[in-house]
Amino acid sequence: MAQPNSKSTTPYLLDMDGLAALISALRRQGRQIVGPRLADDAVIYDDIETAADLPAGWGSEQAGGHYRLKRRDDNAVFGYGLAPQGWKRQLYPPRQKLFAARRQAGGFTVEPPPPPAPPLALIGVRACELAAIARQAKVFGDRAFADPGYQTRLSSAFIVAVQCAEAQATCFCASMGTGPEVTAGFDIKLTEVFVQKHHGFVAEAGSAQGAKLLKALKAPAAGPAEIKAAGVAVKNAARQNKHLDAEAARNLVAHPDHPRWDKVAERCLSCGNCTMVCPTCFCTTVEDVTDLKGDNAERWRKWDSCFTMDFSYIHGGAVRTETRSRYRQWITHKLSTWVDQFGEQGCVGCGRCVTWCPVGIDITEEAAAITGQERI
Ligand code: SF4
Ligand code: SF4
């Protein structure tokens, strides 16, 4: 993760060749490069080889329960909105083997841990996603029970952030104070601009290693027109139709018997999609697996969801047996009790839970209805 730069540097202007050179330089450092690419009718974050893998000319249309790829009328490579899942998959993998033990002549032997994975380079991290990474870093690092794996992956990662130039209908980072401007937590920050049909990226360093890498690319300085276009792009992205009154939402937990919980439960399928796509959700379960002979045993940590019945199972039965109580648990934790635990809310306004809820349940609408902020 970026160590903040002590002094601000002049923005550079990269063209597509410059961006390709940046990715190649990160690859030469031995990093696993992860960035946006097209797959399964969506833009996802996955391993990429070169800048040619980026989704040039593709955008997306997102709304409650709706995601469609759509062609852009330009060649933007970062113009796709947000991918279905954030960088949680890379920094906090869905399945992790905690240990394995094999029966030997003298008893069980624990397998040595696998060699460390190559450090990551994350290409295209948005402001709300940086905020989500910071929230998970707090969960996994700043507490009594740190997760060394998460901390290592994050501290060794090189982060290329990208400022949004437009908002999706599901975005509300502006009201959560997490975007769209990228302000911290990056090594290099890019803003994609088109000035007189010239396609480029205003590039700024956010860390000493980011500054060193940008300097080595020998790119020209960005001119006033490109810097102005970058500022306009971020202002455009800040125009968001969706809002969440974060202060009012902190009071959600004070309404345990609100009739809206029953109303939302009539629609909610308890599918857990919202928790899987949420970049801050961190709950896990632990599963022990053995073979039939009992010679091999493994312990796995896997993502879990507060929407499953098993999640609240304590000996004798589940605590949250109804959908209303599971939805209430999820949203009150995100917006209310997370503040008690971590000093800030667990929602960064990315809108993924709205887009990927199959029935279009909208966290901003539910919070507003329950706290009496509903707009007529
Ligand atoms: S609760 Fe929804 S909008 Fe908030 S961070 Fe999670 S997925 Fe994004
Ligand atoms: S709110 Fe939507 S995404 Fe979440 S569990 Fe219910 S139906 Fe699934």
Alpha carbons 156 and 35: distance in angstroms, whole number: 17
> Nearest-5° angle of CA 199, CA 201, CA 204?
165
Relative orientation angle of helices 208-217 and 16-28, to the nearest 10 degrees: 120
pLDDT for the residue numbered 4: 56
Ligand 2 pocket test target in 260, 263, 268 with most atoms within 8 Å of CB? 268
pLDDT for the residue numbered 185: 96
The sheet that has 284-290: what strands, in order across it? 107-110, 95-104, 296-303, 284-290
Q: Are the CB atoms for 311 and 283 separated by under 8 Å? A: yes
What DSSP designation does 28 have? H
What DSSP designation does 185 have? S
Q: 363 C-alpha vs ligand 2 centroid, how far in Å?
A: 10
Q: Which atom of ligand 1 is nearest to the CA of 354?
A: 2
Q: Is the peptide bond before 118 cis (omega within 30 degrees of 0)?
A: no
**pLDDT tens per residue, range 172-211:** 999 999 999 999 999 999 999 999 989 999 999 999 999 9
Tokens 């009739």 appear where?
Answer: 259
pLDDT for the residue numbered 311: 87
What DSSP designation does 136 have? H
Ligand 2 neighbourhood includes 281 CB (under 6 angstroms): no
| Distance between start and end Cα atoms, the chain | 44
**pLDDT tens per residue, range 114-172:** 888 999 999 999 999 999 999 999 999 866 778 889 999 999 999 999 999 999 999 99
Ligand 2 neighbourhood includes 273 CB (under 6 angstroms): yes
Alpha carbons 286 and 302: distance in angstroms, whole number: 6
Alpha helices in the chain (DSSP H): 16-28, 88-91, 127-141, 148-156, 173-176, 208-217, 224-237, 246-249, 260-267, 273-277, 323-332, 338-342, 352-355, 363-370
pTM for the full predicted model = 0.94
In the chain, where are the structural domains located? 12-92+116-237, 246-284+304-370
Among residues 152, 150, 190, 163, the alpha carbon closest in space to that of 51 is found at 190
Among residues 125, 233, 142, the alpha carbon closest in space to that of 185 is found at 125
> Nearest-5° angle of CA 167, CA 168, CA 169?
120
Ligand 2 neighbourhood includes 278 CB (under 6 angstroms): no
Among residues 352, 277, 275, the alpha carbon closest in space to that of 67 is found at 352
CA distances from 263 to 258, 323, 358 (A): 10, 11, 16
Three-state SS for 202? strand
Ligand 2 neighbourhood includes 269 CB (under 6 angstroms): yes
> Which ligand has the nearest atom to the CA of 357?
2
User: Which H or E run includes 12?
Assistant: strand 12-14
Q: Which atom of ligand 1 is nearest to the CA of 334?
A: 1
Ligand 2 pocket test target in 263, 274, 335 with most atoms within 8 Å of CB? 274
pLDDT for the residue numbered 376: 38
Handedness of CA 226, 228, 230, 232 (dihedral sign): negative
Residues of the chain with pLDDT under 50: 6, 375-376
pLDDT for the residue numbered 142: 67
Residue minimizing CA distance to atom 7 of ligand 1: 278
Alpha carbons 80 and 222: distance in angstroms, whole number: 24
Q: Are the CB atoms for 277 and 65 separated by under 8 Å? A: no
